[in-house]
Amino acid sequence: MLAMVQMNVRIPLDFDKQEAERLKTHEKQRFQELQRAGKWRHIWRVVGRYANVSIFDVESNSELHDILTSLPLYPFMEMEVTPLCRHPSSLHEDDR
């Protein structure tokens, strides 16, 4: 199951800077782990914002929920999830 997730990160300005950097480091490690596992297929930065648009390839909504809530920056994120399916005109067979 493919899903597009739009993530906006909103760390409060008065949040401890060292803790924010620690969380960002762990977020990157978690992202790369999920990318290597094939779960987080794509990520694009939204220009001018601390935000991204990502494509996930998961077995279920529950798996996606578990992945998203496991992200170190999750408490500071606003997310919008859009389920996707293969377009019949796509030339890419791996678009499930």
Q: What is the CATH number of the domain that holds 62?
A: 3.30.70.1060
Least confident residue range of 29-33, 63-67, 79-83, 90-94: 90-94
Cα–Cα dist 85/3, whole Å: 8
What is the amino acid identity at position 1?
M
Q: Which residue, 21, 1, 5, is CA-closest to 68?
A: 5
User: How many domains is the chain partitioned into structurally?
Assistant: 1
Q: What is the pTM for the complete model shown?
A: 0.89
Quickly count helices (H) and strands (E) in the chain. 2, 4
Residue 58's domain comprises 2-84
Task: Please check whether residue 40 lies inside any domain of the structure.
Answer: yes
Task: Please check whether residue 13 lies inside any domain of the structure.
Answer: yes
Task: Please check whether residue 96 lies inside any domain of the structure.
Answer: no
What is the amino acid identity at position 66?
D
Query: What is the torsional sign of CA 39, 56, 6, 89?
Result: positive
Q: Is the pLDDT of residue 96 over 70?
A: no
